[in-house]
Chains A and B, each alone.
Chain A
Amino acid sequence: MTDDLLLALPLLLPLAAAVTVMLTRGLPRLHGPLNVACMAALAAVGAALLARVHDGAVLVTFLGGWRAPFGIPLVADALSVTMVLVTALVAGCVCLYALVDVPPRQALVYHAVTPVLVASANGAFLTGDLFNLYVWFEVMLMSSFVLMALGGEAPQVRGTVKYMATNLVSSTLFLAGVGLLYGLTGTLNMAELAARVPALGQPALVSVVAVLFVVAFGTKAAVFPLFSWLPASYPTPPVATTALFAGLLTKVAVYALLRTFTLIFVHDVGFTHGALLWIAGLTMVTGVLGAVAQDEVRRLLSFHIVSQIGYMVMGLALLSPLALLGAIFFTIHNILAKTNLFLIGGVMARLGGSFELKRLGGFYRAQPLLAGLFLVPALALAGVPPLSGFWGKLLLARAGLEAAEYAIVAASLAVGLLTLYSMMKIWSQAVLPAAADPARPPAGPVPRAQLAAIGVLAASTLALSALAWPVCVVLGRAAEGLLAPTAYIEAVLRA
């Protein structure tokens, strides 16, 4: 198979699945399995791409045959391919879970829009053009709007209103940044921007644009102080939707930050990355403080999304090979663990009839296996050794100490403790004690598809923990590629 096709498949496969779902409206039983199969194929494509780029190579293809800097390139390096692979894994598990979770009336739209969301995330990971990145963000936004509003409950409508308004404003700011950058440099090809921005000799103007990008991507990644839309909207849609959002959406924005603030905006690291370090610390702390105050599973986990974003931004802000490695590793770990926690929370709520910790309970007695599986992502999220979160935090803390940024290291460790506390709060209130409402008739057994989805994600977290060293070797090359992007730039401009 040629590289060109291999690079386009992460976009083509899910889009083809979406079109097939829309064209086969009369065969609703087909849609869920089709999406699961599509995500499995996508994971295979991701693995094939990773085999090509794990040694630091960069694959480039130009859509429509227009060469750089005029054409829009798809660029695959170790970072973007890893994200594509993890996205396929998580989306596949969510689709598996959704096989038995989506009400029949919403099934058609759910199954048609989910692959579009995955395609847009892959587009954002693979594109080498800033305007194209904007377009993928908008496609992602549009499909997430539809998924979030699907069902039309009153809380959902309110959640969607907040989500829509905030994200549309941030998209517009992103577009303004893109326009200003184009006016300054005359190009939007990311590789060419990397070459032209330093030669511009106008660091102050570029810093203004960089601030627009921080605000735009920061809103989408839910960093302090721009995160309030996330806990207000994520808990409202059905769990199969929230889990996908929790795993993917904010991380695409983190990826965009990682990409632009290593490739383009490195003209004044003291200002931009210094600001990012403050943002990282405040995001961690406010997020986790919000989380410990919550008594509703989905809201608690939503605040944790915010808190964990802080760690990823911290790695970017420190801007050393070790720190970037930590940021990438932590992002992957977080996508797997967070999605899984939402899925398990969904099962808990279905068995217990509520998302309120107070009304839950008896989960261990009813589902000992699932209670055990809950511990894997929960302890991984808290950073308990030897699980994946521990390795991510270890890398970041080590990088922080090497950079002599002791305050952020202290903050990150304290936040880890509070994360452990709130995970144990779920454990001690919803899992261990007897059911809050003994009169409630026992729910039926957990569907096998949902058990499988949770099991696969938990196994992935365990695998990431066990294989932390080989994974770090590959991601370390990705981090070095980010810091010294000559290979990326040359691959695009000389392709």
Chain B
Amino acid sequence: MEVVLAYVVGALVTLAVLLLLRRSLVSVVVGLLVLGNAVNLLIMTMGRLTRAAPPLVEAGAVLPEEPFANPLPQAFVLTAIVINFGLLAFSLVLTASARAIAGTVDPHELVGPEDTPPARVGGAA
């Protein structure tokens, strides 16, 4: 199962890189989303996949009954999903405001600090 998931992670990363390299902010945002999920899957897989009971402690017991699934990767992934979601929301707003301000979602067509007219008149320095 780990091998299958490793290939899935690889495929997702490939797709993400493909999307990130496209000249549209919308693709970039989707690419970031896919990349984030690929890494989440990687963490889940690295936390060992087990066919075990959920790590719930019965009333009165101190430890859950063996064998139980590792809860830590799930906690990591949950945190990462929440963070990713917030950043994704921001990047969508950014894309929308790029479209509203500059009328384009092509990062190359947005004006940037490099585009300030070159003040190279020689002489000084």
Q: Which residues from chain A sit less than 8 Å from chain B, CB to CB?
A: 131, 134-135, 138, 141-142, 145-146, 149, 152-155, 157-162, 164-165, 168-169, 172, 175-176, 178-180, 182-183, 231-233, 235-236, 295-296, 298-299, 356-359, 421, 425, 428-429
Mostly, the A contact residues are helix
Q: Which residues from chain B sit less than 8 Å from chain A, CB to CB?
A: 20, 25, 28, 32, 35-36, 39, 42-43, 45-48, 72-73, 76, 79-80, 83, 86-87, 90-91, 94, 97-98, 101-102, 107, 110-116, 118-121, 124-125
Cross-chain contact A358 with B112 (CB below 8 angstroms) = no
CB within 8 Å for A168 and B120 given contacts A157-B98, A179-B46, A299-B113: no
Q: List the B side residues contacting A134 at CB < 8 Å.
A: 80
**In the complex, A160 Cα to B107 Cα: how many Å?**
11
Closest 9 CB pairs of A and B: A183-B46, A179-B43, A158-B110, A158-B112, A235-B113, A358-B119, A138-B83, A176-B39, A295-B119
For the complex with contacts A138-B87, A175-B80, A296-B116, 5 further pairs of A-B residues with Cβ separation under 8 Å are A149-B94, A175-B39, A182-B46, A183-B45, A298-B113
Complex A-B: 21 CB contacts under 8 Å? A131-B79, A149-B94, A152-B97, A155-B112, A155-B113, A158-B111, A159-B113, A161-B107, A162-B107, A175-B43, A179-B43, A179-B76, A180-B42, A182-B76, A183-B45, A232-B112, A235-B113, A299-B113, A356-B116, A357-B124, A428-B125
Candidates B39, B48, B73, B97; contact of A149 at CB < 8 Å: B97
Cross-chain contact A158 with B87 (CB below 8 angstroms) = no
Mostly, the B contact residues are helix
Cross-chain contact A172 with B107 (CB below 8 angstroms) = no
Cross-chain contact B119 with A168 (CB below 8 angstroms) = no
CB distance from B100 to the nearest CB of A (A): 9
Interface centre among A159, A182, A235, A299 (most CB of B within 10 A): A182
CB within 8 Å for A180 and B102 given contacts A155-B113, A429-B124: no
Q: List the A side residues contacting B102 at CB < 8 Å.
A: 154, 157-158
Q: List the A side residues contacting B35 at CB < 8 Å.
A: 169, 172
Cross-chain contact A183 with B94 (CB below 8 angstroms) = no
**In the complex, A138 Cα to B87 Cα: how many Å?**
9
Q: List the B side residues contacting A425 at CB < 8 Å.
A: 124-125
**In the complex, A429 Cα to B124 Cα: how many Å?**
7
- Nearest residue in A to B28 (C-beta to C-beta)? A165
Q: List the A side residues contacting B45 at CB < 8 Å.
A: 183
Cross-chain contact A295 with B120 (CB below 8 angstroms) = yes
CB within 8 Å for A157 and B120 given contacts A142-B86, A169-B32, A175-B39: no
Cross-chain contact A154 with B114 (CB below 8 angstroms) = no
Cross-chain contact A131 with B76 (CB below 8 angstroms) = yes
